[in-house]
Structure 1
Amino acid sequence: MSLSRRSFLAGAVAAPALAALAGCAGTVVQPGDLSRLRMMVPASPGGGWDTTARTLQRVIQQAGVARNVQVFNVEGAGGTIGLGQLAREDDDALLMMMGLVMVGAVDTNDSSTRLSDVTPIAQLIGETELIVVPAESPYDDLAAFVEAWAADPRGTPIAGGSAGGTDQILAGLLAQAAGIDPVQVNYIPYSGGGESLAALLGNQVAAGISGTADYGEQVTSGTLKGLAVSTAERSGQVPDVPTIVESGFDVEVTNWRGLMARPGMSDDARDDLIALVQDAHDSDEWAEALENNGWLDTFQTGDEYGDFLAEEETRVRQILTEIGLIP
């Protein structure tokens, strides 16, 4: 066991005088005590952030990195309600799951709290986006769909997740690559992959964009047709579906997810959280989770992750401006 991990488990042998404090949610009994950890999911249960958080919760506990991890949900506004709550916290044993969706939501929801107001801990994973059409669709590949889309953007509705999120960003980038005015794209946002899937199965939309976890099983079974995946390499979940680049369009998008912590924490407190997440990442249990979920290992921590976030904010803001979502 590493020295850092021993410090996380120190709370298990804390003095009796501190026991009452330990029973209070969110209270850190002593500096460096991460034996009791909370993890906020700023979205509804069952989605990608929630799945990733609960997988990490299980890994942390199974691998012995921390004794107890509580996951809770704070829904709304693309995660910015949870982001605002995190900015008011004073608990060093609290992590918040987030991802690319939140980068766009900060601007589209005109959030008073920015990502720069909280503390970056680690980027965890990347997930492939999948472009699909209903099984009855006349389009068998992305080029054929894009040709029809370019002829009538308004009459070709595309389903996806929340406005300004990864799915709409991908739709906007693909439109640009195809010479379609992104402002003309008829993008219909749904609160989750289940709702957009229902719209596709009901032939209410021409196409859909979501993570491979949402649509992959239907593509494999033939209920939907997979046109393209968004990452540089094909997805192991749908290996027969080509990439967007293979299909002739220079677009790559990875739907990444990561962790943030409260603002104003000490360097030691931040380093303790980073070390905890590093220990979880390095475990056999996490390697198995990556394989089982088809996730890409995009792990980076601390300042490196902070620099990445700043670059993503600039990139996403430019895209959202070009597709007319923000001025």
Structure 2
Amino acid sequence: MRRDTFLKSMLAMAAAGTLPLSARAAAANIKLMIPANPGGGWDTTGRALGKALQDAAAAATVQYENKGGAAGAIGLAQFVNAGKGDPNTLMVMGAVMLGGIITGKPPVSLTQATPIARLTSEYNVFVVPADSPFKTMKDVIDQMKKDTGSVKWGGGSRGSTEHIAAAMIARAVGADPSRINYVPFRGGGEAIAAILGGNVSVGGSGYSEFAQYIESGKMRPIGVTSATRLKGVNVPTLKEQGIDVEIGNWRGVYAAPGITPEQRKALTDMVLKATKSKAWLESMEKNGWTDAWLAGPAFDAFVEREFASLRATMVKAGMI
């Protein structure tokens, strides 16, 4: 087929709305909901994904919207209510949102949206400001044993993995997990400011969020929630320090409610293409993320298991 004939054919199909899903997806203007304030893990993930979608020519443009609060439930509600049937909208989510839904019982449900894929996983690191009287996690534990509430933990929304980890630490060392003093923040920027300002005793988040402050000496890392030390990061695990706690944090992406199976597949293919791009691979390396790709029915089943597992962990830790 001659080039001019092909172009005329494509233009006619576009006018009639009969372009193949893959072609329409490639030309889509994607709206990406980030259910957190700027500066945190979801924000970093969402903007990295948006850049990768464009780098891979999987989307023409990406428009971001940050809507923080309630472990992502506020953003989820807006996404569910405003995006129904829209095949060009995506939302970043993850373990934190599941924990927040369990503790907060919001009026909207994640099951109303459409699962697309799990993207990454990472572990939480706990830090203290450079001038903190706490030099090690042992110092923190000793103080918790004296007065659990005197140690102020800071991190993401209630039900986040760092919140759960703090409760698990308390339980593991014989402190009352229901008495932990946890301060939730709507975004990573707020949490970082609180840690650097000494407004919380200990801060928790993914290593990538604290990396520049650790490297500059403004924060001191005292423990990581992984089974073994993170590659290239000299931070002792909690288990190394005699605290039997291990918990990971994963992030993924959902689509709007009410889209067709064909539209779901097109979006899944689009996101998969983005994760193969140079921009995404660079973001993975820069942020220390581990690839955790999972899509389709396997991702659906994983989310169901995660809900059950997180609920059981939170009950055991005295959070609910």
TM bucket by the smaller chain?
Answer: 0.7 to 0.9
Cross-structure match for 2:279: 285
CA deviation map 1:139-179 (0-9, x unaligned): 33323321222221011211222222222111112212222
Q: Structure 2 counterpart of 1:78, which letter? A: A
* 1:18 alignment partner, one of 15, 25, 46: 15
- How far, CA to CA, are the matches of 1:147 and 1:156 in structure 2? 10
Residue in structure 2 matched with residue 207 of structure 1 by the alignment = 202
Q: Deviations over 1:82-125 (max 9, x none)?
A: 22233341112221111111112213332122222222110111
Which structure's residues are more often helix, by fraction?
Answer: 2
| Contact 2:10–2:19 (CA under 8 A) maintained in structure 1 | no
Contact 2:225 2:247 in 1 (8 A): yes
Identical positions, percent: 38
The residue correspondences of 1:231-246 to structure 2 (distance < 5 A) are 231-236=226-231, 239-246=233-240
Give the equivalent residue in structure 1 for 2:109. Answer: 114
Q: Is the 8 A contact 1:244 1:251 kept in 2?
A: yes
The answer as to whether partners of 1:194 and 1:214 remain within 8 angstroms in 2 is no
Q: Unpaired runs of 5+ in structure 2?
A: 1-6
Give the residue type in structure 1 aligned to 2:80.
Answer: A
Alignment RMSD (CA, Å): 2.6
Task: Give the alignment of 1:76-91 within 5 angstroms.
Answer: 76-88=69-81, 89-91=84-86
The DSSP-based 3-state class of the residue aligned with 1:15 is helix
> Structure 1: where are the runs of 5+ without partners?
1-9, 22-27
TM-score by length of 1: 0.85
**Counterpart of 2:240 in 1: which secondary structure?**
coil
Mapping 1:185-200, distance limit 5 Å: 185-200=180-195
Using the TM superposition, give the Cα deviation of residue 260 of structure 1 relative to its aligned residue in structure 2, in angstroms: 0.7
Q: Which residue of 2 aligns with 1:167?
A: 162
How many residue pairs get aligned? The number is 308
TM-score of the aligned structures, taking structure 2 as reference length? 0.86
Cα pair distance change 1:29/1:75, threshold 3 Å: farther
Match of 1:140 among 124, 129, 135: 135
- Equivalence for 2:64: 71
For residue 263 of structure 1, give the secondary structure of its aligned residue in structure 2: coil
Give yes or no for the alignment of 1:306 onto 2:300. Answer: yes
Structure with more contact order per residue of length (Cα contacts < 8 Å, sep ≥ 6): 2
